[in-house]
Structure 1
């Protein structure tokens, strides 16, 4: 039985190999916008597809960051609309929400942003941070740092593995 995420990754890899060189970074950026693929997965797709590692990493990170910025801006508007609506009723806090809030109080925006990708896609973490009232600029800044960090680390690992295997 096929896995939808692995099918998506293989589809992006095939697309990178099939399109002209000038378009390849755009495909990698689009892959970076997909939750669970993220900038680091997109960089791997690009590198395996034959793109220079730096170009693949930058393209993947940019695609991921653009998607995260859109999510943050939309979540911020939704939060503002919900919190300013007259007669808004507080929803009961779910167990998942309590778990996130405990992590947030323990690690703050920097910690949740930098460690979040180990558990959740950056889009989910960014939306959760924004929904708690963290300013969109702060969320985007820390998510950008996390995306840059994780994309760089994974890119360096992939390049190292390829060099060792060659």
Structure 2
């Protein structure tokens, strides 16, 4: 089956191969880590599959961060921190416990980066800090999973 996927991938122009893997990186729950694995298993070189998946994932994460930041500003207005509901206060406390870096790096274990980044911004984290740490997380997870896929594919062949 992998051979058929690789043969099909080889029949496509390189630009289409990039676009498909970038598209995979945009999809929540596929993101950079699965997109890079699929790209490598499809026969793309590691240095094509991983950056393409990362690019797609970063683009969708940036969209989520800027949308959440703007929405937070519109919804929140002039409300103070004292107006948080008990449930939201508990969520914010957990966010403050792990910080932006912890949420970004551990987030892919539970939720897509788009959801994690939007939630982090909605809790009041700096938009730039969220972008920085989510980008680091996307690169680490994408490169790590892509490398494991490349090692596994080379071991099988």
- Tell me the TM-score normalized by structure 1: 0.81
8 Å Cα contact 1:61-1:148 kept in structure 2: yes
Indicate the residue corresponding to 1:153 in structure 2.
144
Distance 1:99 1:27, change over 3 A: farther
1:137 to 128, 139, 145: 128
8 Å Cα contact 1:103-1:112 kept in structure 2: no
8 Å Cα contact 1:57-1:155 kept in structure 2: yes
Q: CA deviation at 1:103?
A: 3.3
- Tell me the TM-score normalized by structure 2: 0.85
RMSD: 2.2
Indicate the residue corresponding to 1:6 in structure 2.
none
2:45 to 48, 52, 73: 52
Indicate the residue corresponding to 1:25 in structure 2.
18
8 Å Cα contact 2:41-2:149 kept in structure 1: no
| Cα-to-partner distance string for 1:109-136 (whole Å, 9 max, x where unaligned) | 0011001111111111001101011121
Query: Residue 26 of structure 1 aligns to a residue in which SS?
Result: helix
User: Structure 2: how far apart are the matches of 1:28 and 1:35?
Assistant: 13
Q: CA deviation at 1:137?
A: 1.2
Query: Residue 108 of structure 1 aligns to a residue in which SS?
Result: helix
Superposed, 1:5-154 pairs within 5 Å as: 17=9, 19-84=12-77, 92-94=85-87, 100-154=91-145
Query: Residue 134 of structure 1 aligns to a residue in which SS?
Result: coil
Unaligned runs of 5+ in 2: none
2:155 to 140, 146, 164: 164
Q: CA deviation at 1:58?
A: 0.3
Alignment size in residue pairs = 148
Unaligned runs of 5+ in 1: 1-12
Q: Name which structure has the greater RCO, CA cutoff 8 Å, separation 6+.
A: 2
Query: Residue 15 of structure 2 aligns to a residue in which SS?
Result: coil
